[in-house]
Amino acid sequence: MEAKAQGTSLNKTIKRLLEEALGIKLKSDKLYEQDFIDIFGTWSPNDLKQFEKSTGDLRQLDDRDWK
């Protein structure tokens, strides 16, 4: 198997073979981060505090939900 011979995952090998066969370059997972770069790290401490306050009840478990 080609993936084993190259020491890569089957998924990466399939992606590379598709790229070669179709003559394209698939977008790497790292490049997807660029799609969201404008929102990375933009929360102020106050934003985080408000978010945690607003979503705090979502962390509560209700035993009745599991019966």
Task: Provide the whole-model pTM.
Answer: 0.37
Dihedral, CA of residue 26, residue 38, residue 44 and residue 29, to nearest 10: 0
Please tell me the predicted confidence (pLDDT) of residue 51: 93
pLDDT, tens only, 9-39: 888 888 888 888 888 876 666 666 677 777 7
Query: Which has more confidence, 19 or 52?
Result: 52
Mean pLDDT score, 33-53: 84
Mean of the pLDDT values across residues 5-11? 81
Residue spans of the domains in the chain: they are 2-57
State the virtual CA torsion across 55, 57, 60, 65 in degrees, nearest 10: -110
Rounded CA separation 14/8 (Å): 10
